[in-house]
Structure 1
Amino acid sequence: MNSWRLILGLTITIIFVGLEVESWVMAAGLFFILWKCAIELWKLQKPSRWFTNTLTVAALGLILLRYRTVMSQDSSSSFLILLTSLKLLEERNLRDQKFLFLLGFVLISALFLFSLEVPALGAGLASFFVLWSSQNTKLKYSSIFLKSLPLALFLFLFFPRVQNPFGFQGLMTSNQGQTGFSDELSPGSISKIQNSQELVFRVQFLGSKKYRPQDQYWRGQVLTTSEGMRWTKPSMPVIERTFEKIPQADYEVTLEPQGKRWLFVWEPTERLQSAKFPMVLRKGSYFESVAPLYERSIYQGKFEETTPQVESEAADLQIPELSEPVAVLVKKLTASANSREDIAEKILNHFRAEKFMYSKSPGKTSGSIDDFLFVGKKGYCEHYAATMATLLRAAKVPARVVTGYQGGDFNAYGRFWKFTQADAHAWVEFLNNRNEWERVDPTTVVAPERLELGGVLFEGLPEEWIGQGKAMDYLKSRQAWWIQARETILQNVESWNYDLVLFLIDFNLDKQKELFQEYRTWAVVLGALLLLPFILQSFFRRKKLTYAEWLLKELEAKAQKQNLTREKSETLRQFTQRWAKSHPEIRTSLMTLLDIYETEEYSSKGAPKLSPQQARSLLKSL
């Protein structure tokens, strides 16, 4: 085997699988690979098996200490990375190389468990071909891999997978489930993950209307229990369990695995539908799946055309005991207000007049309602949402906090919106004078750029520009050709990812029926073409001759042309000697071919094997 190709193939998979687990695992794996490279380059002494075995046991102990199990996707993949890199470090012979070759394919399978997007598929295929070439053999049609491709495509198209046939949920990984917020809101709960650009969901609008980042409010959870800066969600009763099929959906969401029940919907949404999982609508107008979602999921939504009227409840006015300065401020803000809408506007004007700031690191001076209002006067979206909802309730206006995602990044090539952790957001709803829940976002007052740019671009905005109306200036600063070229490449790759994901995970029996109804004839032709190689091979399969059998057949054919026939009781050596007596000029060639045949057939030590081309050259001389 070619050691360097083996190292390269394993390195590719270790890097890409390592990106899905904790960083120390990939760092350790790459350290052992670099050690192996140094051994190969400078002929250093290899570590003993006792040393590598001790490290393997230590690695297993660390993983058990961290994950408490080796049966989860993250823990097993982490151990596989460390096991492979340590085995590579101690590799000594062909047996070790073959074992590593097999471990490489297990790593590729682990990679595809994490992701089937374009980068993962590209890395997996590259690793496969590099590992295969390490055997110093060419990839031919006769190989099992190439023969299996048409059959795999046929099975995918004509026998779509059944979604979760036995009711099992996938293995949860530690990198999943980070949706940017939990069932509660407190200072730092959203801001701590704003630097992450981990994908949460993609949205494709099914109509012709165009939307801006500031239009995009995707509702996740409704929090109604107030403890000042901390808001939590009580158990809400279910309003509706079954939904009629939407005749014409307005949007489609592709949600990444999260291990939670949360479903993010356009605000406002009337109803949802999904062919893959049941869901419920809870009081508070938010949707949840019946079971946690451990796999990438797709659902469609229908906009709500009218805002329903509701009656307020005592829970919508619950607040903790407030300090005297806060009570005085509330009395001042409501003194001349004529409606609930006026009170909400006066609170926003207070934030403007007192020059409150939007800060990515507000510190401890904004940890409570009093500190935020009278000391720090700076905070993140959770500070403003929690404070405004508390002030509204103190003014006898029913209010609640909503958490979800706002902004998004539009992909012009794939025509979809992408939402990442950086788009996590919190805002407020209050019951207006018409008894309708109305959204108010205090972030619009202190940081309008957050809504105009979306979470990802906003994170790159200098903090001194926030609240200064410089969103357009920032966008102009990103017009450099190299930035635009990078964005074009990234958006194209993301578009391919999205199309691939939709095709792979959304191809079920219903999609198959739609496809076959539209392309019935072409589907039959394609199926026949995919199966044709296997049918032809089954009916016209010929036994492949060994080198010795081929050589014997060629010798007998040459003898027949010279009117010589081998007797049944005659060995090949006896026949060849008789042939050589009658034609002494070809004796040398005959004896050489005889030695080759006997070496191949009986494994005796004789003349070295000639290539088929060299053997044909000798046969022509007969």
Structure 2
Amino acid sequence: MHTPQDIFQQQQLIRHDNLLWLLIAQGVVILPLLFQLPLWLWLIWGGALYWRYQIFKGKRPFPNSISKFLISALAIVGLFLNYQGAYGVEAMVGFLVFTFIIKLLELRSRKDGLLIICIGFIAVAAQFLFVQSIWATLYAAFSCVVLITAWKTIYVTRELPVKQKLTGGGLLLLQAIPLMLVMFVVMPRLGPLWHTPLLNQQAQTGFSETLSPGDIGSLVQSTGTAFRVTFLDETTPRQSELYWRGLILDTFDGRTWARQSHLQFAGAPVPNGASQSTVNYEILIEPHRYPWLFSLAEPIKSDTGSVRSRITSEGLLITREPLTTRLQYQVSSIRPRETVYKALSKQQRQQLTALPIGFNPKTVALAESWRQASDSAEEIINKALAFYHQDFHYTLSPPLLGENSVDDFLFSSKQGFCEHFASSFTVLMRAADIPARVVVGYQGGRYDASENYWSIRQADAHAWTEVWLAGIGWLRVDPTSAVAPQRVEQGIDNALQADDRNRVAAGQFSAPQWLTNLRHRFDAANYLWSRWVLSYDAQQQSQLLKQLFGGKEPWRIGLIFLLFLGSLMGAYIVFVIRPKWQARTPLQQALKTFDNTCQQWQVQRENSETIAQFCLRLRGVQPQLDTACERLARLSQAALYDQQQDNQKQLVSALKQFPKE
């Protein structure tokens, strides 16, 4: 005979079909995390599922304490070795996923199931450490629906359709959305969880402090987005004027350009004339783990929010720390066709005309001949640009260059990408005693008219030259435009041959038009999500609260929050709870029909009587209803204690079909 304690413990056990929902919920939640973590966690998950299946079949017991200790110790050692002893976010998430998986092996009661659900919600939050796009958010919402469904399921003692279970979980999440939105708007912004840098986070722009032939050619094959730009003025620059400066390289060793960090250029930007105008724009940049940001020349003012930054004397926008999170910032730059003047000291001029001795003798000789035969630096520049018109080809797959890389390019191969043209042109200028430097960044972009923003992709990576002219200052010269003008005017996808175009951005430019349009819509949705949701910081919150409520004082926010909660609860009672009170279930409707039928037999069912009790009394009054009453009592008992949906359907049918007088 079972004691009450035994019966209670039996009721706390999870049904086998409900256990399946917990397994499904776990799989949905950890799937995106497993792609970011060590591969051996997949094996642990598969092994745990197999062990759990063997437990279900009765072929294996639950693991004992020693087994769980050994498995945990091996996992900790594996995480330690995998991340080389660094206690970063990935290691913590890896251990969270491991505990989430291993909990399956000791899952028995509802209490264990509730613990798994709680860990699952933490794992959903951990998904945003790696991806914060709108699609990741939609997947996280789906994960929450599955978790809530599994949460409800572990307390259900009868079988329900899958659609009904998922619908219930989805409705609970929808009911929480209004409160979530209010809390998102008014709660203090303490910084999002994903601002924590990751160990395996790689640079997404691909720009380092050096540039060699082939570097940008490799970068443009990436499918990623570097940043997105919204112009805040009515008139915006043309695509050919969109040169997004990121890094200046001023030292050349014969093959590779590098940045000489200790060289400082004195003097702030000085407007060359009194009629200077500015272009104002907002940039949403992806993390790239370098300290430089991108802007048009010349930036004169910037607002990077809580991220400390400054504009250098070279006209570059840099941050104090490497950029490890998405950042939204505003910049004001001088209009591209207007100039600023900066004087050069003797040391600076020597640095910006220096070339390694003994390298590229043909190039040096050509530039020297131009210098001797020219009256001005402008004339030398024009000769160099005219030189590039002679049988040079713009290609993503040029031949390899030798030790004298510039000589090989200018006089032998005559095939190259933008870094080949920028590097060789800068060497020509320096050999002609004209200060010059290489600038790397992006050129152009894709304009989205529906959302009014420019998307600058990795495929838009570019390199060009800046030369210094007396009385003018730094002047941008893009030798690539002399060979492939459509690269600057129309974008890289219109400047390459078909074979090269298939390699740029993983062949996205060769995709069908409908797929390209769909990709652009996805990008626009992601941009809006990043700009208005992910970039919602304390500064934007302060501005929004002032606009909505007239201030951001705590008492004001608290009062409005309470009023909203009261309105929300009132609406919930009126539109959700009250209709449910008034609505009748199929069983209630059938009971009403049954009571009306019994009144014809001159018998009234009391409110305190169950169907079985009333049928017993009805049989004594009307013996001819003995069979119908016996069947009805049996169905009511089955529906009450077995709680099967079929029993309830049969009971409803029997109540409606009860014999009439």
TM superposition score normalised by structure 2: 0.68
In the alignment, the residues of structure 1 paired with residue 491 and residue 45 of structure 2 have an alpha-carbon distance, to the nearest angstrom, of 38
1:407-418 superposed matches below 5 A: 407-418=444-455
Structure 1 gaps of 5+ residues are 242-246, 467-473, 542-560, 567-574
- Residue number in structure 2 paired with 1:175: 201
In the alignment, the residues of structure 2 paired with residue 361 and residue 75 of structure 1 have an alpha-carbon distance, to the nearest angstrom, of 42
How far the C-alpha of 1:293 sits from its partner, in A, is 2.7
Letter in 1 for 2:229: V
Q: Does 1:379 align with 2:405?
A: no
- Listed one character per residue, the Cα deviations across residues 520-559 of structure 1 (whole Å, up to 9, x for unaligned) are 59x9989734443458999xx9xxxxxxxxxxxxxxxxxx
- Residue number in structure 2 paired with 1:569: none
- CA 1:105/1:440 → structure 2, altered by over 3 Å: closer, same or farther? same
How far the C-alpha of 1:406 sits from its partner, in A, is 1.4
- Listed one character per residue, the Cα deviations across residues 96-147 of structure 1 (whole Å, up to 9, x for unaligned) are 8777655543442222223332211122222332344453645659997556
- Residue number in structure 2 paired with 1:274: 304
Letter in 2 for 1:272: S
From 488, 501, 508, the equivalent of 2:530 is 501
In the alignment, the residues of structure 1 paired with residue 61 and residue 446 of structure 2 have an alpha-carbon distance, to the nearest angstrom, of 50
In the alignment, the residues of structure 1 paired with residue 378 and residue 172 of structure 2 have an alpha-carbon distance, to the nearest angstrom, of 70
Letter in 2 for 1:507: Y
- Residue number in structure 2 paired with 1:161: 189
Q: Retained in 1: the 8 A contact 2:267–2:343?
A: no
Larger CA deviation: 378-387 vs 138-147: 138-147
- Residue number in structure 1 paired with 2:343: 311
- CA 1:63/1:439 → structure 2, altered by over 3 Å: closer, same or farther? farther
Q: Does 1:220 align with 2:246?
A: yes
Number of paired residues? 578
How far the C-alpha of 1:198 sits from its partner, in A, is 1.6
Letter in 2 for 1:444: S
Q: Retained in 2: the 8 A contact 1:91–1:97?
A: no
- Residue number in structure 2 paired with 1:292: 322
- Residue number in structure 1 paired with 2:517: 488
Larger CA deviation: 252-261 vs 98-107: 98-107
- CA 1:511/1:355 → structure 2, altered by over 3 Å: closer, same or farther? closer
From 231, 235, 249, the equivalent of 2:262 is 235
- Listed one character per residue, the Cα deviations across residues 398-428 of structure 1 (whole Å, up to 9, x for unaligned) are 1111111112222222211112222222111
How far the C-alpha of 1:307 sits from its partner, in A, is 1.8
Backbone CA RMSD of aligned residues: 5.8
Larger CA deviation: 98-107 vs 295-304: 98-107
- CA 1:366/1:589 → structure 2, altered by over 3 Å: closer, same or farther? farther
Q: Retained in 1: the 8 A contact 2:62–2:106?
A: no
- Listed one character per residue, the Cα deviations across residues 61-94 of structure 1 (whole Å, up to 9, x for unaligned) are 5654453246434454566667767887x79967
- Residue number in structure 1 paired with 2:567: 532
Q: Does 1:343 align with 2:380?
A: yes
Larger CA deviation: 495-504 vs 49-58: 49-58
- Residue number in structure 1 paired with 2:158: none
- CA 1:153/1:232 → structure 2, altered by over 3 Å: closer, same or farther? same
1:213-612 superposed matches below 5 A: 213-233=239-259, 234-235=261-262, 237=264, 250-305=280-335, 306-313=338-345, 314=347, 315-323=351-359, 324-353=361-390, 355=392, 357-365=394-402, 368-455=405-492, 461-463=498-500, 483-516=512-545, 518-520=547-549, 528-533=563-568
- CA 1:188/1:461 → structure 2, altered by over 3 Å: closer, same or farther? same
- CA 1:224/1:515 → structure 2, altered by over 3 Å: closer, same or farther? same
How far the C-alpha of 1:177 sits from its partner, in A, is 2.7
Q: Retained in 2: the 8 A contact 1:317–1:397?
A: yes
DSSP-derived class of the 1:263 partner: coil
Q: Retained in 2: the 8 A contact 1:205–1:252?
A: yes
Letter in 2 for 1:116: Q
In the alignment, the residues of structure 2 paired with residue 249 and residue 46 of structure 1 have an alpha-carbon distance, to the nearest angstrom, of 71
Q: Retained in 2: the 8 A contact 1:11–1:33?
A: no
- Residue number in structure 2 paired with 1:120: 136
How far the C-alpha of 1:218 sits from its partner, in A, is 0.5
DSSP-derived class of the 2:374 partner: coil
Letter in 2 for 1:151: L
- Listed one character per residue, the Cα deviations across residues 233-273 of structure 1 (whole Å, up to 9, x for unaligned) are 223549799xxxxx997110011122322110012322212
Q: Does 1:68 align with 2:100?
A: no
DSSP-derived class of the 1:265 partner: coil
DSSP-derived class of the 2:388 partner: helix
In the alignment, the residues of structure 2 paired with residue 331 and residue 595 of structure 1 have an alpha-carbon distance, to the nearest angstrom, of 109
DSSP-derived class of the 1:275 partner: coil
From 184, 201, 209, the equivalent of 2:235 is 209
Q: Retained in 2: the 8 A contact 1:406–1:455?
A: no
Letter in 2 for 1:231: W
- Residue number in structure 1 paired with 2:598: none
Letter in 2 for 1:155: M
- CA 1:536/1:408 → structure 2, altered by over 3 Å: closer, same or farther? closer
DSSP-derived class of the 2:389 partner: helix
- CA 1:140/1:205 → structure 2, altered by over 3 Å: closer, same or farther? same
Q: Retained in 2: the 8 A contact 1:341–1:433?
A: no
Q: Retained in 2: the 8 A contact 1:195–1:459?
A: no
In the alignment, the residues of structure 1 paired with residue 50 and residue 22 of structure 2 have an alpha-carbon distance, to the nearest angstrom, of 12
DSSP-derived class of the 1:462 partner: helix
Letter in 2 for 1:235: H
Q: Retained in 2: the 8 A contact 1:32–1:85?
A: no
Larger CA deviation: 337-346 vs 449-458: 449-458
- CA 1:464/1:495 → structure 2, altered by over 3 Å: closer, same or farther? closer
- Residue number in structure 2 paired with 1:548: none
Q: Retained in 2: the 8 A contact 1:366–1:379?
A: no
Q: Retained in 2: the 8 A contact 1:409–1:456?
A: no
- CA 1:79/1:366 → structure 2, altered by over 3 Å: closer, same or farther? farther
Q: Retained in 1: the 8 A contact 2:224–2:457?
A: yes
DSSP-derived class of the 2:330 partner: strand
Q: Retained in 2: the 8 A contact 1:240–1:281?
A: no
How far the C-alpha of 1:217 sits from its partner, in A, is 0.7
How far the C-alpha of 1:283 sits from its partner, in A, is 2.3
1:113-152 superposed matches below 5 A: 113-134=129-150, 135=153, 137=165, 140=168, 145=173, 148-152=176-180
Letter in 2 for 1:318: A
Larger CA deviation: 108-117 vs 216-225: 108-117
TM superposition score normalised by structure 1: 0.72
Q: Retained in 1: the 8 A contact 2:299–2:311?
A: no
- Residue number in structure 1 paired with 2:6: none
How far the C-alpha of 1:193 sits from its partner, in A, is 2.3
Between the aligned residues of both structures, percent identity stands at 25
Q: Retained in 2: the 8 A contact 1:339–1:433?
A: no
DSSP-derived class of the 1:504 partner: helix
